[in-house]
Amino acid sequence: MTVQKLAAHGLIPLLCLGPEWLSKGLLIMDTTPGLNQQNRRLAAVMFLDMCGYSAMMAKDEARALACVGELEKLLRAEIPRFGGRLVKFLGDGSMAEFPTALASVTCSQSVLAAIEANNAWVAPANRYAVRIGLNLGELVDVQDDIFSDTVNVAARVQPLADPGGIAMTSLIYAQVKNQLSLKGTYLPPQKLKNIPEKIRIFLVHPTKGDSPAAATARHQKLAIKVAIGVAAFLFIGWLITLLFPK
């Protein structure tokens, strides 16, 4: 790291530098509006996007808007529950921030589970899925919004997730791999648009038993068992009445 960068990050006090360094433009490095060091902090960023939204809109606009409304309601409930902040909605997607990597992953899992549970009770044509991208790093607060390379990387990572899955950078995965049981795989280092360095990305695939079809089958089996239990209870009650009349 150059002397200029060290000083810009507060690692070398400006008063310790001679006028020759100040004359090289060091003082203008922090003059970008809204980007002073006091607005910087470490956090996890979540980008979420609905899969196939454009096709859904073309086929059934009312249903597409209803799905967006359902998703918005779900996110407004789930994100604060894990200590996160819903920064903004982006059409059929959203951006949120969390104080820890663990909070971002557990919230993502909860959102995906809730969507799958809802899908189990609706017709296949009316179901929807989302992709989630996660990254950890420094954020810059500008009013109620957040900016930084961390945000840009999270946005680029998100489309790599499977429908109903999560794509997270190695920074996130390193923080949670010993705390959560995540079934997935690392992709080869990826070159993302407008991101200079290649990024290591861990994909958490949708589990086999949690697909919409599997969830539907699981709920149908449960409904059948409940129906059989009720029928058996009623039959026993009828039989007791028949054998032991009052």
What average pLDDT score do residues 31-60 get? 82
Per-residue HEC secondary structure of 89-122 comes to EECCEEEEEECCHHHHHHHHHHHHHHHHHHHCCC
pLDDT of residue 125: 83
pLDDT score recorded for residue 39: 80
Compute φ and ψ for 20, nearest 5 degrees. -65, -35
Q: What is the mean pLDDT of residues 200-215?
A: 68
- Read off the pLDDT of residues 70-107 as tens digits, 9 standing for 90 and up: 999 999 999 999 999 999 999 899 999 999 999 999 99
State pLDDT tens for residues 111-127: 999 999 999 998 888 89
> pLDDT tier at 206 (50, 70, 90 boundaries)?
confident
pLDDT at 18: 45
For residue 92, which amino acid is it? D
Q: Which residues of 206-232 are buried (b: 16+ CB within 10 A; e: fewer)?
A: beeebbbeebbeeeeeeeeeeeeeeee
**Distance between CA 207 and CA 184 in Å, rounded?**
9
The Cα–Cα gap between 186 and 181 comes to 15
Q: Residue 166: what pLDDT? A: 98
CATH class label, 38-209: alpha beta
* Cα–Cα distance, 119 to 124 (Å, whole number): 8
Q: Using one digit for the tens of pLDDT, what is the confidence trace for 134-169?
A: 999 999 999 999 999 999 999 999 999 999 999 999
